[in-house]
Structure 1
């Protein structure tokens, strides 16, 4: 996937990165800090955010942390206001997300809502709140949303997660077309399985199409593609790319290929979850 429209300068961007304390979000933040970025890291875990902000400052960037529940209806406006108070906003990275794998009838309603609310709704509403500033940015704005390889090939036992990530992909396509002729660059990234905390509870590996790439390699490829001006950025390994091509051309052939190994896959991903309960049993939260 390319859609190259010319180079994009990421140096010195003033940006918001949701889920910026861990995993892909942290790695993106570090790379942007090395380019002199002025970044607001947003997430639930204040300690992780503050530690990452210190690392960003050491890497040459400017960084602040904002601890907020992105599923709170007031959060998107609060995030954008905090970014503007810090000096401006010309980059938004919608990275925060969570996952719980398993058969649909074994996933609780709270976990369904946790995935939909954070992975999709929060990203849409945060983008909506940020758009006026992104449109007005002197250098033009950038919206980068982190979907998933599962957004390209929805896999069994990830039905809700797949719905959120294909939804995020569709949001990116529609918004890119809606903003044609403006100076806002809309991009969506599709990482395959990546070696982050979010994947530690999964036992699925390369033989099941879940070969993991180091997070730094994924983010280096992602940002290089973004700097080339690409809109659709695929960082999956060849095994998953072959499945993506087959899904595009013959979806039922993917069904047939997966069917003999469904029991093995279900067992391997049974415990895959990044959703942890809130203190006091107040429902789920994301560790992403």
Structure 2
């Protein structure tokens, strides 16, 4: 896919992987609509994009509000005069035992990680079709491929958006809109600041810049999936071949993992 001068709607653009994606895409002189809850970080990212030769507008919005996804798409389409790419990156997390998570925290994760990107994509499809070479990018998670204790709801939403992307890719096959799923591993972003999990707990952090570079390479290469995480391949293979063995292995560190992720929340 040729990324030059593309009209791109990017959610969660104010920090972390979204910010890194905006700056990585800036080399292609894009027209970016940057979406996030707060104006100030979006303005900072927009200024950096312009310095690198791209164009950028900001759309402050709460994507979980009633009608917000359709309104954001309409505003982006108006500002950019079309949409060629939609990058569903915005997300949140609340870790911990399922019965310790409040109902509102369950619903908040579902609303932003799953419902919002589905509704954004639904609203953007006419514009993506009209572009003739449209692309939807869903930023899932390694926990969307591998169920992990204490990330039950988060993992469910990330598996859901990945499955949505795979199904949509097949639904749109041959119709001028491609779908790419990106599965970051543990990434050094503000969303992870409240977690105490480290490498000894299986969290090998990489930079959001590395994730962004891999994602953009996947866009250029028309890939179906981009999977990050140094040990993810081996763990996924074990989970396929002998999931009970992986259960036993993970159980050895379960008590310690519960302690270090108990306060992990970006809500």
TM-score normalised by L of structure 1 = 0.90
Pair 1:142-2:135 in alignment: yes
Other structure's SS at 2:252 match: helix
Asked if 1:219 is matched to 2:219, the reply is: no
Distance 2:240 2:125 in 1: 32
Moved over 6 A (4+): none
Deviation at 1:249, TM superposition (A): 2.1
**Where do residues 221-240 of structure 1 align in structure 2 (5 Å cutoff)?**
221-237=214-230, 239-240=231-232
What do the CA deviations read for 1:156-188 (whole angstroms, capped 9, x no partner)?
000000000000111011100100111101010
- 1:108 has 2:102 as partner: yes
Which residue number corresponds to residue 3 of structure 1?
A: none
Distance 2:190 2:5 in 1: 28
Shift of 1:240: 2.7
Alpha-carbon RMSD: 1.0
Residue 254 in structure 1 maps to residue 246 in structure 2: yes
8 Å CA contact 2:25–2:216 kept in 1: the answer is: no
| Mapping for residues 148-167 of structure 1, pairs under 5 Å | 148-167=141-160
In terms of mean alpha carbon deviation, does 150-159 or 207-216 score higher? 207-216
The equivalent position to 2:82 in structure 1, one of 88, 108, 114, is: 88
TM-superposed CA distance for 1:63, in Å, is 0.4
Are the equivalent residues in 2 in contact too, given 1:157–1:266 (CA < 8 A)?
Answer: yes
Please report how far the alpha carbon of residue 31 of structure 1 lies from its aligned counterpart in structure 2 after TM superposition.
Answer: 1.2
Q: Counterparts of 1:70 and 1:63 in 2: how far apart (Å)?
A: 19
Gaps of 5+ in 2: none
Deviation at 1:233, TM superposition (A): 0.9
Matches within 5 A, 1:53-72: 53-72=46-65
Cα pair 1:34 1:59 within 8 Å, conserved: yes
Count of aligned pairs:
266
1:181 and 2:174 matched: yes
CA contact (8 A) 1:13 1:32 kept: no
Residue in 2 that maps onto 1:244? 236
**What corresponds to 2:265 in structure 1?**
273
Return the offset for 1:251: 1.9
| Other-structure match for 1:283 | none
Q: Report what 1:203 is aligned to.
A: 196
SS of residue matched to 2:253: helix
Gaps of 5+ in 1: 1-7, 276-288
Q: Secondary structure at the match of 1:17?
A: strand
Please state whether the residue corresponding to 1:187 is helix, strand or coil: strand
